[in-house]
Amino acid sequence: MPFSSVSFLYFFLPVTAALYFSASRKMKNLILLIASMFFYFYGEPVYSLLMAFSSLTGYLYGLWIQKAKSKKEARFALICSVVFSIGLLVFFKYSDFFIENINSLTGADIPLLYIPLPIGISFYTFQILSYTIDVYRGQVEAERNIIDFSAYVSLFPQLIAGPIVRYCDIRNDLRSRSHSVSGAASGAGRFVIGLTKKVLIANTLAELVSSLANAAESTVLLYWISAAAFSLQIYYDFSGYSDMAIGLGRIFGFHFPENFNYPFVSKSVTEFWRRWHISLGTWFRDYVYIPMGGSRIGKANRIRNILVVWFLTGFWHGAQWNFVIWGLYFAFLLITEKLFLKRVLDRLPRFFRHLYLILAVTISFVIFNSNGTAMMRTTLKGMFGALGLPFSGVETVYYLESYAVVLLIAAVGATPAAAIAAKRLKKSRPGEKAAVFLEPALYACMLLLATGYLVDGSFNPFLYFRF
C-alpha cells in the first residue's frame, strides 16, 4: 500500500489516526503495531509472517545478549543474531544471483528459485542488526516489551523504504512521546511536501525516462536528457518518500532522522554522500567502516575499508552486477578524493567543483539504472559520442521542449532556494501573518492536486521498493 495511493491517503491513514489518538497512552504502540502489520499484510500477505518472525528473533537475541553471563557468550549471541539476519536477507534477496553466477562460472545447471523479494527486508534487517549490535556494545538496554520492539521494527511510516531508524534514536519516543496539534500539523505539512515531490515531479520524470527509452531515435542529447531525468527522478522519488515517512512519524509523535540534505548542491562526492541517503551512509560508517578501523589506520587499510563498505553498499541495493559496479565506482571516486583529488578541487572555482559532482553523479545513476552491463556500456558510449550518433534530432527536441518546465522545476527544487526564500518571507512581519493562512491553504492545494493526479494517472511504485 504505497503512501501515494488513494487507499492509503483516504482510508488507511484516517482510520489509523482515529484509532491511535482515541487510544490510551499504554495502547498506542499496540495500535501502531496492528496498523503496521495490516499495512504490510496488505501488500505482502505471506512475507508479513517473515517480518513478524524476524522481529521475534531480534527481540530474543537482544535479551540473550543482555543476559549473557560472559563477554564470550554475549559475542556468540551477537554472531548468531548477525548470521541469522544476514542469512535471511541473503536467501530471499540474493539466492538466484549466486546461482546464476555459479552456473555461469562452472557450467552447472542449478535451477533458479525465483523467490519474490520481500518489500522492505533490506531496511528492517538493518534496523534489527543495529539494535542487537548496540545492545552488545552496551549503548542501549535490551527492550523487554515485545510490543514496543515489534512496533519499532514494523512502524509503517518507514517500514518499506526507510529512512533506516535505529532503536537508540527512537527508544524514548517508543516509551513516552508527546503529541501536539502543532507537531501533527508540521508532520502533515512535511508529508504533503513529500507526496507532491513523488506524485507531481518524480512520476512525471518517470514518464519522460520511459518515453525516452522507447524513442524511435537515438542521439547524444537524448541520452543526456534521460540520464539527467532519471537522476532527478530517483532523488524526488526517494527523498519524497523520506519526507512522507518523517512527516508521518511526526504526526504520531516520533522523530525520525533526516535522510536527504540537498545532495545536488554538493561540490564533491564526499560531500554528496554526507547529504544523500544519510541513514544508510551512517549505518555503514558505524557498523562496518569504523569497526574495521575507519580512517585511523594506514593508507592501504583505509582504502581497503572504503572498498569493502562501498562494495556492500552497492550490493545492498540489489542482486545485480550493475549495483556492485555502482558501489565500486563511488569507492574509486571517494578514494581518489581522499588521496589527492579533493585538494585539487578545493583550488577550483565553486562552479567547476559543482560541475564535476553533477557529472559524476549523473554517470553513477546511468550505472544504477542499467539492466545489465551491456546496457550500461551502450548508454555511456551514447552519452559521450562513441556510438557515432547525431548530437540531436527532431524527437529529442520535442521531448526537451515538452518537459522543459518540469526539468527546470525539478532542478531548482533540488536546491535549498525555495526553502530559503520561504524562510525569509516568514521572518518578515507581513509574511509571518500571511503564512498563518496561506501555508495551510497551499498544503491543501498540493494535496488536492496530487490526489487528482493519483485518481487520473497510472500506478507508479517507489523505486526503492525494488531494493
Catalytic site positions = 317
Q: Phi-psi region for residue 390, left (φ > 0), alpha (ψ -120 to 50) or beta? A: beta
Q: How far is CA 467 from CA 123, 267, 463, in A?
A: 9, 27, 8
Q: What is the widest separation between alpha-carbon atoms in the chain?
A: 74
List the one residue out of 465, 462, 408, 3 whose CA is nearest residue 235. 462
CA angle, residues 189, 190, 195, in degrees to nearest 5: 95
Q: How far is CA 129 from CA 54, 62, 288, 430, 467, in A?
A: 11, 10, 12, 50, 18
CA 295 to chain centre: 26
Q: State the Cα–Cα distance between residues 32 and 447, nearest whole angstrom.
A: 24
Kindly state the DSSP code that residue 264 receives in the 8-state scheme. G
Phi, then psi, of 23 in degrees rounded to 5: -85, 155
Q: How far is CA 86 from CA 5, 122, 127, 278, 304, in A?
A: 32, 10, 12, 22, 22
Q: State the Cα–Cα distance between residues 132 and 146, nearest whole angstrom.
A: 14
The answer to whether residues 323 and 122 touch, using CB atoms and an 8 Å cutoff, is no
DSSP per residue, 337-361: IIIIIHHHHHHS-HHHHHHHHHHHH
Handedness of CA 157, 163, 167, 173 (dihedral sign): negative
User: How many Cβ atoms from other residues are within 10 Å of residue 391's Cβ?
Assistant: 11
Q: How far is CA 159 from CA 123, 195, 242, 271, in A?
A: 7, 17, 11, 27
Q: How far is CA 180 from CA 21, 335, 396, in A?
A: 11, 46, 51
End-to-end CA distance of the chain: 16
Which cell is 342 given?
A: 579533493
The answer to whether residues 12 and 39 touch, using CB atoms and an 8 Å cutoff, is yes
